[in-house]
Amino acid sequence: MCAGDPLIVWAGQGFRPGVRAWYDGDAVAVAAPDLSKRDRLAVVGPVDSVARLAAEVFAEVGPSFRPFGDEQLIRDLADHVPDLAFSAAFGWMDTAGLPVVTTTAAWLESDTGVEALLTDAAPTSYAWPGRSGVRRWAAATGDSGELLSVAADAWSAPEIGFLAGVATHPVARGKGLSRQVCAFVTAELVKHHGRVGLMVDRDNAAAIAIYQRLGYTYRRVAAAHFQ
């Protein structure tokens, strides 16, 4: 069923305050404000039905919500909805499997040092300490306790966790630390939620390869916005 689609489940966020859902036949739309830095409208279904449903939804929620879903659906939707423009294509990855964890990575008691690491290693990250929906950070540390690689539990929904904010200090790259931290967080989130997802730049072949080795499968998705 469309309603069981991982994108839809994630956007639903356990129907926290502000989240709303609509359906029209096989089309489903879920509006989630302030989800991974954006007001997002997750959509799935045949484009004609989704376009008809989206027109009704936008009349209620306004143009700040950005549709996202399978890439071809979003491209077609941009052709069907006036003033809607295709924004970007990227990847959604998810897994329900438990990866092998052979690491000393662990949840941090505080996020001290995470912002500095992100500033150096991943300044475009959507997940930052203190940002809405960012719950906790895990890290691999050096001998002196310095943060070498981090990843966050951010914007997780009851039925699907979400991995974000992956970053490794430039001096520690090439040592497999990102894989170790991601394996730890993936396992933790699968145990708690049953499934875990993430978003990745479609051109980031190295990251995609790491996630695939951890059991994630890749799905081409995209987003659109109102001009």
Q: Do residue 121 and residue 160 come from a single domain? A: yes
Q: Provide the CATH number for the domain around residue 169.
A: 3.40.630.30
Render pLDDT for 129-153 as a digit per residue (tens, 0 to 9): 999 999 999 999 999 999 999 999 9
Residue at token pair 């001009």:
227
Render pLDDT for 187-204 as a digit per residue (tens, 0 to 9): 999 999 999 999 999 999
Q: 3-state DSSP call for residue 107? A: strand
Render pLDDT for 29-82 as a digit per residue (tens, 0 to 9): 999 999 999 999 999 999 999 999 999 999 999 999 999 999 999 999 999 999
On whether the CB atoms of residues 69 and 176 are closer than 8 A, the answer is no
The predicted pLDDT at position 3 comes to: 59
- Please report whether residue 200 resides in a domain: no
Average pLDDT of the chain is 96
Which of 92, 119, 134 finishes a domain?
92
Q: Residue 151: which domain range? A: 97-194
Q: Do residue 113 and residue 190 come from a single domain? A: yes
What integer is the mean pLDDT of 9-28?
96
What stretches of the chain show up as alpha helix (H) in DSSP?
6-12, 47-61, 71-80, 114-121, 177-193, 205-213
How far apart, in whole angstroms, are the C-alpha atoms of residue 17 and residue 220? 29
Q: Do residue 72 and residue 110 come from a single domain? A: no
- Please report whether residue 156 resides in a domain: yes
- pTM across the whole model: 0.95
Q: Do residue 71 and residue 123 come from a single domain? A: no
Q: Do residue 85 and residue 106 come from a single domain? A: no
In terms of DSSP bridges, do strands 84-95 and 106-107 run parallel, antiparallel, or are they unpaired?
unpaired
Banded model confidence at residue 1, pLDDT cuts 50, 70, 90:
very low
Q: 3-state DSSP call for residue 202? A: coil
* Residue 220 CA neighbour count, 13 Å, CB half: 7
The letter for the amino acid at 158 is: P
- Please report whether residue 34 resides in a domain: yes
Q: Do residue 88 and residue 103 come from a single domain? A: no
Banded model confidence at residue 4, pLDDT cuts 50, 70, 90:
confident
